[in-house]
Structure 1
């Protein structure tokens, strides 16, 4: 089902509509699943990303550390409401500059309670015979989003599939991938992926 999400007809949401719809639904569920496949995104509204894009890695990571308090507050709210977030991150080596930065931010998120596992492209290869998997978010058991990006990797909106059968099928496949995934901390230690200002290895 994951590979079919891109071809299914859903409700197209512009960026503001997507954010509004997501926020309304998110706090009503007990769990979310996120599949991240692209290796390059742009996040121009995030100062830490901006510093990285300008080549200032030391400042980028310092600004990422300043995000910790906000992430911690968000996690406390999730914990209070019993919402479990799981993220599956497909990682290709050698790392893109974006992914080098994102893994540092994800380490902060994982430290604070988000559940994150890493997979290699080979784990999803059987679903990618005609192209890469889309970026997918599941909320609870009834909502699937295919997040839309432009060619530069800037989010533009999402396609909403409010069909419990689709969400159930996607959730089962993500759960199977989850069992194959490696905990983020273990991945960072095993691969020696840098989480400081060194150049990617």
Structure 2
């Protein structure tokens, strides 16, 4: 296992963005990216998805409905894949998982498996493999967008999106992009992980 100690992320270097400001800026920057990829790290084991009918069904305990609604999203995923190909800019994701899987992560892995079918490269890293890397605290939720900006995404204690902290120092962005690439390389492809660890599980019990 390679050294997965993360680079520093000094809080004083970043600019805090409120939720709507972050969402608007993210969309604008993403639309401008050409010929550069983006990277995302997801470490939390529970989020409250906003505007997802599938997640809402999952929270109501309607598992089959939740999965059906994910399947109905294929057309949107195809449209995103075509747009990524047009801009020659692709999205790579690292999903850290703890055992046993939380209801959210179990649901999300179904979603990520579908995303992978349409070109998003998703790799799964077991939290147990990050024990030494997280000796000073768990890894943050991060997005490196087009190699130009790093966002540390913020959430409330219950997992509701709460804006982000933006970093634009070129050296810091490069260090974290390189780190996320390394994490990605150590992970397992989501398709094989799903087959081994997820598809046989019974429906999760929502909290």
Counterpart residue number, 1:45 = 51
The CA distance in 1 between the partners of 2:105 and 2:10, in whole Å, is 23
Deviations 1:48-87 (A, max 9, x none): 0000011110111111111111121111101111011100
Q: Does 1:194 align with 2:199?
A: yes
The CA distance in 1 between the partners of 2:200 and 2:115, in whole Å, is 13
The CA distance in 2 between the partners of 1:83 and 1:73, in whole Å, is 14
Q: Does 1:104 align with 2:110?
A: yes
Deviations 1:171-192 (A, max 9, x none): 111111122111111111222x
CA RMSD of aligned residues (A): 1.7
Equivalent residue of 1:133, what SS?
A: coil
Kindly state the Cα deviation for residue 164 of structure 1 after the two structures are TM-superposed: 1.1
Distance 1:150 1:42, change over 3 A: same
Q: 2:32 aligns with which of 16, 19, 28?
A: 28
Kindly state the Cα deviation for residue 6 of structure 1 after the two structures are TM-superposed: 6.4
The CA distance in 2 between the partners of 1:76 and 1:94, in whole Å, is 35
Counterpart residue number, 1:5 = 9
Equivalent residue of 2:32, what SS?
A: coil
Q: 1:7-156 alignment to 2 at 5 Å?
A: 7-29=11-33, 30-156=36-162
Kindly state the Cα deviation for residue 43 of structure 1 after the two structures are TM-superposed: 1.0
Contact 1:138 1:167 survives alignment (8 Å):
yes
Higher mean C-alpha displacement, 116-125 vs 135-144: 116-125
Equivalent residue of 1:194, what SS?
A: coil
Contact 1:104 1:195 survives alignment (8 Å):
no
The CA distance in 1 between the partners of 2:53 and 2:155, in whole Å, is 20
Structure 2 alignment gaps of length 5 or more: none
Structure with the larger helix share = 1
Contact 1:5 1:146 survives alignment (8 Å):
no
Deviations 1:7-33 (A, max 9, x none): 343111111110111111112332100
The CA distance in 2 between the partners of 1:22 and 1:31, in whole Å, is 14
Contact 1:5 1:134 survives alignment (8 Å):
no
Report the TM-score, using the length of structure 2 for normalisation.
0.89
